[in-house]
Amino acid sequence: MNKDDMILISVDDHVVEPPDMFKNHLPKKYLDEAPRLVHNEDGSDTWQFRDVVIPNVALNAVAGRPKEEYGLEPQGLDEIRPGCWKVDERVKDMNAGGILGSVCFPSFPGFAGRLFATEDPDFSLALLQAYNDWHVEEWCGAYPARFIPMTLPVIWDAEACAKEIRRNAERGVHALTFSENPAAMGYPSFHDDYWTPVWEALVDTDTVMNVHIGSSGRLAITAPDAPMDVMITLQPMNIVQAAADLLWSKPIKKYPDLKIALSEGGTGWIPYFLERADRTYEMHSTWTGQDFGGKLPSEVFRDHFLTCFISDPVGVALRNEIGIDNICWEADYPHSDSMWPEAPEQLDEVLKAHNVPDVEINKMTYENAMRWYHWDPFTHISKEQATVGALRKAAEGHDVSIQALSHHKEGERGGGAGHFDALQAAARGNSGD
């Protein structure tokens, strides 16, 4: 397949929320108490909610910036690409990158929305629903052919969470972001019956639970003085524990239609993980009491789990051992792992190196995403208009050159290339922890 003929849907991207996002969706009585974006004297912009300050960590929005500007320093909206936080500009960036569709994870509330948990349940729910309404109606609603809507959970209340899943499903939302380790956030684990209303709502509405790496605020555990490279290397391993927790959990056996996406976790590790799970079942299920109804854990995994990759040559080489119907592609825009705007070129190189046939390319690049998320962009756009080549032609003249955008010198904001503990603190802040 020629790279210009590919159709790309990314199941893992990110949005930097705009400052006015609550204006049209939060009841007026709460507006003065809502999180607000504050422009600081050093030029950075930070979200502030009560006594919590959430910086716009630089690794979260580096698309279009030189690698010399990667780091941990907080930054202003004028130091990142407008496509990070303006939906019209995002679509231009998607076109220039040859990307048709996108699932956008949140930033300042944390991937599981824990920031909105307050002592006032009515206020908390109002905040969360305002966020979801903004995301569905304004961000995704502006371009229904380009965004797969995904909403935040009421992570602090399982019954309320189930109701919110059903509320959003009624307007066509079939994706929910959730913590990969709720127990690490102080909530019951996946093994606790507490979450039964959530599992039932997910199954009843054909909604996929998306568990993103680091969504609990817990990244790789290593020495506090370890180089940053250690943590970055281990980031995808965060999802392996979530996969094991969920694979061996009761809901996976109880609900045959339950769907889980392992977001930003890569795929190269999965064949060994499945081999190990099958071995564990063979050697220990007699005394641990595990019963997968005559199936192996690896078979059950393929019934329930969606995985994704950015380039991942190892995962592509082993794609059929993972399950070709269980793999999607991701761009991770505007994070530091993203290949934007050259994703089609780099993906094409990996696919050709492993002689991936067209039918399998189509499954991984867009068909699996459409099926899993019950989303059909072709009710709004033709396939001919959706290809990498067609989208890039529509974006002719849009500037995607690498540009130095930082308005400060290294060290002026106390960030820079820091150590592991700095990013851990940033991750906890982004998760409301």
Of all residues in the chain, the percent with pLDDT exceeding 70 is: 91
Determine the pLDDT at residue 161: 98
Query: Which of 21, 41, 42, 46 is CA-nearest to residue 31?
Result: 21
Assign 420 a pLDDT band (cuts: 50, 70, 90). very low
More confident residue, 408 or 178: 178
Determine the pLDDT at residue 418: 34
More confident residue, 220 or 415: 220
Is the pLDDT at 356 greater than 90? The verdict is: yes
> In terms of CATH, what superfamily is 3-430?
Metal-dependent hydrolases (3.20.20.140)
Q: Are 407 and 69 in contact (CB under 8 A)?
A: no
CA distance readout (Å), 131 to 18, 77, 355: 11, 19, 43
Determine the pLDDT at residue 380: 96
Is the pLDDT at 277 greater than 60? The verdict is: yes
SS3 of 44, please? coil
Chain centroid, CA 187 distance in Å: 21
Is the pLDDT at 154 greater than 60? The verdict is: yes
More confident residue, 107 or 430: 107
Determine the pLDDT at residue 367: 98
Determine the pLDDT at residue 73: 63
Identify the burial level of 289 via C-beta atoms within 10 angstroms of its C-beta, where 0-12 means exposed, 13-18 middle and 19 or more buried: exposed
Can you read off the two tokens belonging to residue 402?
């690498």
**pLDDT tens-digit profile of 90-114?**
999 999 999 999 999 999 999 999 9
Is the pLDDT at 280 greater than 50? The verdict is: yes
* Torsional sign, CA 70, 72, 73, 75: positive
Please give the average per-residue pLDDT across 372-401, as a whole number.
Answer: 97
Determine the pLDDT at residue 423: 40
Q: Are 427 and 43 in contact (CB under 8 A)?
A: no
More confident residue, 318 or 231: 318
**pLDDT tens-digit profile of 54-71?**
887 655 778 877 777 777
Can you read off the two tokens belonging to residue 211?
């568990």
More confident residue, 116 or 234: 116
Q: For the chain, what is the mean pLDDT?
A: 91
Assign 227 a pLDDT band (cuts: 50, 70, 90). confident
CB-based burial, 88-120: b 16+ in 10 Å, e otherwise: eebbbbbbbbbbbbbbbbbbbbbbbbbbbbeee
